[in-house]
Amino acid sequence: MKKLKFTTSFLAVAMLMIALDLKEQFFIIFLIVTLHEFTHVFFAKLFGLKIKKITFLPMGEVAEFENIEVASPFKRFIIFVSGPLMNLIIGMSTLFFVRNKEGLLYFFAMGNMMIGTFNLIPAFPFDGGRILQMVLGNLNGILNANKIIVKISSVVSWILVLVGILQVVLFPFNISIFCCGIYLRKIIQTEKLKMTFEFYKNMVAKSTKIKNGNIVKVKTLVVAENISEREIVQHFSFDYYHMVYMWNQGEIKKVVTEEEIVKKCFEG
């Protein structure tokens, strides 16, 4: 139970849905997001990762894993994509048994389809945002990727707010999409800070892996000597150890390690 955290907003939404006599729909949604999140947990445990905690939010559940940032790209991809794929598989399979589109079985099937699709949106805090961060991060640096995804997340949140307003007009008292958009706008910067912290934690973890005799792939960067350390670190990714070649007037003046760059960032 220590690893389970129920937020006040989650409890408020639960009590509201029960008060509106939507308890069956609430428990179905709760079951769907639990299946989604525990699929993430299953594959994380399969790959040897430990669970830090599972937080229950108004938009679902979020599992946090220890040192997921140092897992291989393949393992991270499987962990991130497994939840949405499980929902889509369950949703499509259940539709074969639906006979009444007004029944709870149809609600369960469509709920899985919607949550699976929703989580593939390439924005924080959805699984699609994690996958996009991993891809862009290895191409152009994690911190640069975070900036791009924050912008995408902001656009997505405003789209959800506008669609939510339309939903309220067409379907009075249904404010689910509108609430999702508002909630997403609220947590964008928090998600960015959390991922930035995990990035710097990953820098330390890579050094520890090397000291323990593990092999880490190397990526080299060539930069002008007048480029600041803060600008250089923007191009660091999770999956490589970086060696930085300082260039001046056609010559490599010195080679700086990843640790030295990060240390100077903190000193500055």
Taking residue 65's Cβ as centre, other Cβ atoms within 10 Å add up to 19
Of all helices (H) and strands (E), which one includes residue 99? none
CB within 8 Å of 216: residues ≥ 6 apart: 206, 209, 210, 240, 241
| Cα distances (angstroms) measured from residue 57 to each of 14, 79, 114, 203, 219 | 10, 20, 17, 30, 38
251: which 2 tokens?
């010559």
Provide the sign of the torsion angle of the four alpha carbons 1, 77, 188, 184, taken in this order: negative
- How many angstroms separate the CA atoms of 195 and 197, rounded? 5
Catalytic residue among 24, 37, 225, 251: 37
> Is the bond into 125 cis (omega within 30 degrees of 0)?
yes
> Does residue 37 carry a catalytic annotation?
yes
- How many angstroms separate the CA atoms of 134 and 140, rounded? 10
State phi, psi for 243 to the nearest 5 degrees: -115, 125
Residue 203 near residue 221 (C-beta atoms within 8 A):
no
Q: Which residues are catalytic?
A: 37
